[in-house]
């Protein structure tokens, strides 16, 4: 069954969907766009046809029955707003204790789910530690595992000073989430070619969508590395055998607000 259909009552036969389809799977027949059934097997439901149809006539099975929201059209007045949002995002590490509501979390995840991916494969999935008790469970498992491996040599112990980490953990310092009440991990098939890149983009979308709702967010390097290495944490998160933990982030309500955009110095660019 074709993944693309057309509302003929709305379609004007302009051919925009044909023009923007990255795989050239749509053709015009009698001024009406058609995706043959053999072509639909190659369709990745990228949504280009729907996004660019000026009449709202293009339809996809993946979004059948949904009311699609309008895209943000180019407007010179939006440049300052969008640039300002990107420049103002900061890695955040000072959190209030109250958890982020599931309503807000779902809003952020819905935005992050729209992140681009190689071949539009969309093979990533999200694992959320949505409150401090879940975060504490992660930290407890991490501490126990660090105690077990402290005298051994492996990739993790070569990268980190495990003794120093244990000392700080035993003093109550949260080395993995900076006291955030929530965390999210992006996981997916370990054999996917673009896994690391796709997850980095998805994590950035999550980060920006969180910032838009005044939720502080930061990439969790230590938590990611220990989740990749520790079998007990993989089990705790429900990571499957064929999956990799690509990226972790922690998040929570802010306690302070930024007021200025700091400088970064000259852009290190080479124009050829």
The DSSP code sequence of 210-256 is HHHTTEEEEE-HHHHHHHHH-HHHHHHHT--TTEEEEEEEEEEEBSS
Q: How confident is the model at residue 3 (pLDDT cuts 50, 70, 90)?
A: confident
pLDDT in tens, 58-100: 999 988 888 999 998 889 989 999 999 999 999 999 999 999 9
Q: What whole-number distance in Å separates Cα of residue 228 and Cα of residue 118?
A: 22
* Under 8 Å between Cβ of 218 and 188: no
* CATH code, 58: 3.30.70.20
Residue 269 belongs to some domain of the structure: no
The torsion region of residue 85 among left (phi > 0), alpha (psi -120 to 50) and beta comes to alpha
Work out the number of other CB atoms within 10 angstroms of the CB of residue 56: 12
Which residue, among 252, 257, 256, 255, has the nearest Cα to 98 in the 3D structure? 252
Residue 238 belongs to some domain of the structure: yes
Q: What whole-number distance in Å separates Cα of residue 91 and Cα of residue 68?
A: 32
pLDDT in tens, 107-166: 999 999 999 999 898 999 999 999 999 999 999 999 999 999 998 988 899 989 999 999
- 44 and 174, same domain (yes or no): no
- What is the domain extent for residue 35? 4-63
The token duo for 115 is: 């992140």
Q: What whole-number distance in Å separates Cα of residue 250 and Cα of residue 227?
A: 14
In 3-state terms, what secondary structure has residue 138? helix
Rounded average pLDDT over 29-54? 93
pLDDT computed for residue 155 by the predictor: 87
- 166 and 32, same domain (yes or no): no
- 104 and 217, same domain (yes or no): yes
* Under 8 Å between Cβ of 40 and 4: yes
Average pLDDT, the chain: 95
- 167 and 127, same domain (yes or no): yes
User: Rounded to two decimals, what is the model's pTM?
Assistant: 0.93
pLDDT computed for residue 73 by the predictor: 84
- 110 and 234, same domain (yes or no): yes
The token duo for 151 is: 């005298």
pLDDT computed for residue 1 by the predictor: 59
pLDDT in tens, 178-210: 999 999 999 999 999 999 999 999 999 999 999
For residue 234, pLDDT beyond 70: yes
- 9 and 116, same domain (yes or no): no
- 127 and 238, same domain (yes or no): yes
For residue 2, pLDDT beyond 80: no
Cα dist from 137 to 155, 237, 265, whole Å? 23, 10, 41
Residue 204 belongs to some domain of the structure: yes
pLDDT computed for residue 119 by the predictor: 87
Q: What whole-number distance in Å separates Cα of residue 6 and Cα of residue 10?
A: 8
Q: What whole-number distance in Å separates Cα of residue 170 and Cα of residue 165?
A: 9
Write down how long the chain is: 272
- 21 and 112, same domain (yes or no): no
- Rounded to 5°, the CA angle 174-179-183 comes to 100
Which residue, among 197, 254, 199, has the nearest Cα to 227 in the 3D structure? 199
Report which of residues 1 and 268 the model is more confident about: 268
Rounded average pLDDT over 46-62? 94
């Amino acid at each position: 069954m074709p993944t693309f259909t057309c509302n003929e009552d709305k379609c004007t036969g302009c051919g925009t969907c044909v023009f923007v389809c990255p795989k050239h799977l749509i053709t015009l027949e009698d001024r009406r766009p058609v995706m043959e059934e053999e072509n639909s097997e190659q369709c990745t439901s990228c949504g280009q046809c729907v996004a660019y149809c000026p009449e709202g006539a293009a339809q996809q099975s993946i979004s059948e029955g949904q009311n699609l929201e309008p895209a943000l059209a180019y407007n010179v007045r939006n440049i300052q707003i969008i640039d300002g949002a990107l420049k103002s995002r900061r890695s955040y590490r000072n959190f209030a204790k109250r958890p982020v509501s599931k309503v807000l979390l779902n809003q952020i995840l819905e935005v992050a789910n729209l992140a681009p991916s190689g071949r539009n494969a969309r093979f990533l999935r999200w694992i959320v530690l949505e409150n401090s008790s879940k975060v504490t469970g992660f930290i407890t498992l991490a501490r126990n595992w660090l105690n077990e491996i402290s005298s051994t040599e492996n990739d993790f112990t070569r990268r980190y000073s495990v003794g120093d980490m244990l000392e700080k953990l035993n003093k109550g310092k949260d080395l993995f989430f900076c006291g955030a009440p929530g965390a999210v991990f992006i996981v997916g098939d370990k054999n996917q070619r673009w896994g690391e890149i796709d997850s980095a983009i998805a994590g950035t979308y999550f980060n920006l969508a969180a910032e838009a709702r005044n939720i502080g967010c930061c990439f969790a390097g230590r938590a990611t590395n220990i989740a990749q290495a520790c079998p007990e944490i993989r089990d705790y998160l429900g990571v499957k055998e064929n999956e990799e933990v690509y990226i972790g982030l922690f998040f929570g309500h802010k306690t302070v607000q930024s007021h200025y955009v700091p400088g970064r110095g000259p852009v290190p660019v080479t124009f050829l």
